Chains A and B, each alone.
Chain A
């Protein structure tokens, strides 16, 4: 199973683009990448989920953990997602109230 993780910079904000399936097997790699970003002092992170095919509760846990970690440094973790099947997971678990979710990286960065 393939999980793609690419980081780019957009106006001083780190954009982490995630591709593939985020599940109990691959979620630790996402966690490691988020921890690395925080360790590099990058406390403003946008996680782009547009190319994610599958997301389970371990993936949600990683994103929540990343959000907590960044907020302790006065940072933030925002999400980009328009896919219904992925958004549904956030809605069912009530996490739409926890995360700021945008329909594009541009709209997320402009909301900074």
Chain B
């Protein structure tokens, strides 16, 4: 535990059209958000970026109009929330949003769950939350 462990998490937010060409932009933002956290080694960051892509594919399959990415980075963990926006045109994220419900997402299911420490899908807010913990052995 260091003094910085109790610091307020850094916060970043970006909303982009839910189109394939913008997914790489979201990956870049997360890379920047993670830049100051040495515990987030390159391999784990690569895994997180892949999980973000898979989550975006799921949100696009759910007819999201926009995708809003929010990151909360701290010395303890990095949370990435991906929310479907555009309200009226977007239908709810299906129950099996991360269970290979679309052809494009056929291989996504095992990927997301194995790439990050926690995955939370909220149908109410059409949000996928991905969490990478500094120490996955510690239960939060």
Residues of A participating in the B interface, judged by any CB pair closer than 8 Å:
1, 21, 23-25, 54, 56-58, 60-61, 84-85, 88-89, 92-95
Contacts and interface: CB of A to CB of B under 8 A. Distances in A.
Contacts, number: 60
Contacts of B56: 24
B57 A56 contact: yes
Interface residues of B, number: 25
Given A54-B49, A54-B50, A56-B53, A23 B20 contact: yes
A80 B54 CA distance: 24
B21 interface: yes
A94 B108 CA distance: 12
A60 to B, nearest CB: 5
Interface string B10-27: 000000000011011001
A24 B111 CA distance: 15
